[in-house]
Structure 1
Amino acid sequence: MRRVLHFKTGPYLPVTENWMYGQIKGLRRYEPIVYACNRENLSLFPVNKIRTTGFLRVAKRGLRLRKIYFYLYFLYYLAKDRPDVVHAHFGPSGQRFLVLKRIINVPLITTFYGYDVNQIIQEHPAWLDKYRRLFRDGTLFLVEGSYMKKSLAAIGCPEEKILVQHLGVDVDTIKFVPRKIVHGEETRILMAASFREKKGIPYGIDAFGHFKNMHPQVKASLTIIGDSAGDRSGEEQKRLILKHIEKHHIENSVKMMGYQSHEVFIRELYSHHLFLAPSVQASDGDSEGGVPVSIIEAAASGIPVLATYHCDIPEVVLDGKSGYLVPERDAALLAKRLESLVFNVSMWPEIGTNGRRHIEQNYNARTQIELLEGIYDRVVSGEYAKRCHVSRSCS
């Protein structure tokens, strides 16, 4: 059996990056090996073979020593593991692996996810030069959708080296349940996201607050799954979220659950009627890049989705068919779309059916894993070898 090395700088694996695990556990024809800087949540995301440097323990020894340690550590294990292809997750991971690629001459695929395209360059322009080397020497680059493909090409990646590879969800375990409501039952709305500006949670709260103030007689509640990661920006977002709840006087109608496991998230999906995901382009350039997996899972479950025209979300949420889309930061229009869904319950089954069908056809994890392994096959066979040469757009 061939081997694929999944590589990322930072830890394997934060709970907010569970979608990466879907690209590992579903492999059938490739044995996955994980290389990372340190490990966490292995009980949630088990793998048979993982190598970690423990960078957090050597961080104070100096940058040069860290780099030497990094390369020597992984070179030792690369000689033992002998992968056929390397799949780096996030642009900086691909860039970091370039030195090792040149030494062991292994094909390198890099998947970009969002912050690694816009935010990192806006905050650190020097990454443009680093990426040029990655685009020149990397074998292939994967993105979640057409918007992300255009974004990556805009910063210098040759279009012929970019492929769209959807993140899939397990439609066999996510059951389709058309939403309905019993007479007199409250309408339950769900948001699930980490407290980051790009998630647009305050706009979702504003939309719900507008709706509640317009229709105080309607029974409706909002549940928020997620929390701050404890960093400064996350804490600022948390304060902003609480401020918006207070502004609309909806404290008694909003339930905040904090971070929850994936199993709890799926369970909560089925106990709610509508899913709200008002993503926005953050002031620091951060974005969803592609589309949050939570939206794909929600649509697969049969719940109507309200979201924004942001990144590749319109490829998953079909406006007017499987949900509604509004421009970013337009809480007023979001409230109107929410109002339309709340007062037109008869639309829910058709919307849910359309969403489920779209996910089954285009975001089925089993199908996407087969396509991913097909990409690995073509890379290993050398089909993309010519794309590793210097092109005008990379020079």
Structure 2
Amino acid sequence: MTDKPLKVLHYSPVWLPLTETWLYSQVRHLPAPIDNHIVCRSVKNLYQFEVPNIHCLKWENPVSYLLHRALFVAGFREGFGFFDKVAARIRPDLVHSHFGNNGWTVHKAVRRLSVPHVVTFYGQDVSRMPAVNPAWRERYREMFADEGTFYLCEGHAMAKALAGLGCPAERIRVQHLGVPVETIRYQPRAWTPGTPLKVLIAASFHERKGIPYALEALARLNREVPVEITVIGDAGASEESREEKRKIMEVIERMDLGPVTRMLGFQPHEVFWREAYANHLFLSPSITGHDGDTEGGAPVAIIELAASGMPIVSSRHCDIPEIVLDGQTGWLADERDVEGLLDCLRQCLAAAPEWDGILAAGRRRIETEYDAATQGRRLAGIYRQLVGSGH
């Protein structure tokens, strides 16, 4: 007996920035009986993130798109009339909003539909936004009052943070993000003492990524072991991001890392993978920013690269310790702890003869808890449970 089709309307204002590969993977790996529809303002990178049933305001009504964009820039956040039109047309069984702030934008419209609403929080929406703009705390409390709305997050640290904002704990579910493990070639890295250690850093330039601390630790390691550093990522449009780039470049200059550092800027995912297999180790020491910004869960790159057989050195931040088991599948330092990172790097190199066992354990953990197809089936199960329970 096969499950009956379930029509799910996903709301994401832009489908899809290059940094949200994980969202595409999440939708694409929902099992066949789930009939997915996307409602958005505009599309980007469709060559990489094409899915059926995209309902795009900019395509259907360019004038309304310009008006909506002007209102958004002016600070008007509530409501998205195009969402109501698409919902009336396709009559979904359930709505899934991606990011908490987007869930709030359409929560009244979903209430009018009388269908379950799933809202997934991913990071800044649970940390930085409520810290920088207290209005979001009140908006979230308003959304949390909707009894037909349920909340997903990547791990238990984020679940605790969400409950701290006033979300009823009984309506929070931990749903790990998945990566397509079957498409990720497992190639356990090996490093030979006496040869340069090739280290990959891959992240957009935000304070929460901890890149200056990573570079400080590598500069100190470089006095003991020759290192070659590859950085994929760059500053975005925000002043905060540009300021972080200035800090990164200052560390590179001050620590004389220029001759051993390649700055590749933003790159498509295929370049990320090419560089991943050409390097020995992934360094990703996330921190809590001064404005409260966090990963919320964990960088998806950690999941991907652990699946590929790459040693991970990271930090005890948010849900990273759920993915990287310290001393078993990788190494973790405290946040902002350069000495701790250096110690982790030394431990990693000392364990080089045993990397095969450590990396195999990391791959197994990703296969068990972070495989996209498995997580897609689990997400579909959540959908069916909510629809079937009459919420």
Which runs of 5 or more residues in structure 2 are unaligned? 59-63
Report what 2:107 is aligned to: 98
CA positional deviation for 1:191: 0.9
Looking at structure 1, the residues matched to 37 and 76 of structure 2 have their Cα atoms a distance apart, in angstroms, of 21
Looking at structure 2, the residues matched to 130 and 245 of structure 1 have their Cα atoms a distance apart, in angstroms, of 41
Deviations 1:119-153 (A, max 9, x none): 11111112122111211114210010000010000
In the alignment, structure 1 residue 12 sits paired with structure 2 residue 15: yes
Choose which of 380, 384, 387 in structure 2 pairs with 1:373. 380
Secondary structure of 1:43 counterpart: helix
Change over 3 Å in CA distance of 1:294–1:169 after alignment to 2: same
In the alignment, structure 1 residue 336 sits paired with structure 2 residue 340: no
Deviations 1:77-97 (A, max 9, x none): 212111111110111111111
Report what 2:54 is aligned to: 50
Looking at structure 2, the residues matched to 376 and 149 of structure 1 have their Cα atoms a distance apart, in angstroms, of 19
For 2:337, the aligned partner's letter is D
C-alpha contact 2:79 2:106 (8 A) present in aligned 1: no
Identity score, percent: 41
CA positional deviation for 1:102: 2.2
In the alignment, structure 1 residue 260 sits paired with structure 2 residue 267: yes
Change over 3 Å in CA distance of 1:85–1:183 after alignment to 2: same
Change over 3 Å in CA distance of 1:65–1:175 after alignment to 2: closer
Report what 1:35 is aligned to: 39
Secondary structure of 2:131 counterpart: helix
C-alpha contact 1:209 1:248 (8 A) present in aligned 2: yes
Greater Cα offset, 59-68 or 316-325: 59-68
Secondary structure of 1:44 counterpart: helix
Greater Cα offset, 70-79 or 286-295: 70-79
Choose which of 167, 171, 187 in structure 2 pairs with 1:157. 167
Which runs of 5 or more residues in structure 1 are unaligned? 386-395
TM-score (norm 1): 0.92
Deviations 1:30-61 (A, max 9, x none): 11111122211111100111122347622575
CA positional deviation for 1:65: 11
Secondary structure of 2:199 counterpart: strand
C-alpha contact 2:78 2:104 (8 A) present in aligned 1: no
Looking at structure 2, the residues matched to 259 and 64 of structure 1 have their Cα atoms a distance apart, in angstroms, of 25
Report what 2:294 is aligned to: 287
Report what 1:190 is aligned to: 200
Greater Cα offset, 80-89 or 98-107: 98-107
Looking at structure 2, the residues matched to 59 and 208 of structure 1 have their Cα atoms a distance apart, in angstroms, of 46
In the alignment, structure 1 residue 73 sits paired with structure 2 residue 77: no
Change over 3 Å in CA distance of 1:349–1:81 after alignment to 2: same
For 2:252, the aligned partner's letter is I
Report what 1:170 is aligned to: 180
C-alpha contact 2:312 2:330 (8 A) present in aligned 1: yes
For 1:33, the aligned partner's letter is H
Report what 1:309 is aligned to: 316
Aligned length: 380
For 2:182, the aligned partner's letter is D
Report what 1:389 is aligned to: none
Cα-Cα RMSD? 2.1
C-alpha contact 2:280 2:311 (8 A) present in aligned 1: yes
Deviations 1:168-194 (A, max 9, x none): 111111121111135754211111100
Looking at structure 1, the residues matched to 359 and 77 of structure 2 have their Cα atoms a distance apart, in angstroms, of 53
Choose which of 226, 235, 247 in structure 2 pairs with 1:240. 247
Looking at structure 2, the residues matched to 210 and 68 of structure 1 have their Cα atoms a distance apart, in angstroms, of 46
CA positional deviation for 1:99: 1.8
Looking at structure 2, the residues matched to 176 and 253 of structure 1 have their Cα atoms a distance apart, in angstroms, of 27
Change over 3 Å in CA distance of 1:183–1:91 after alignment to 2: closer
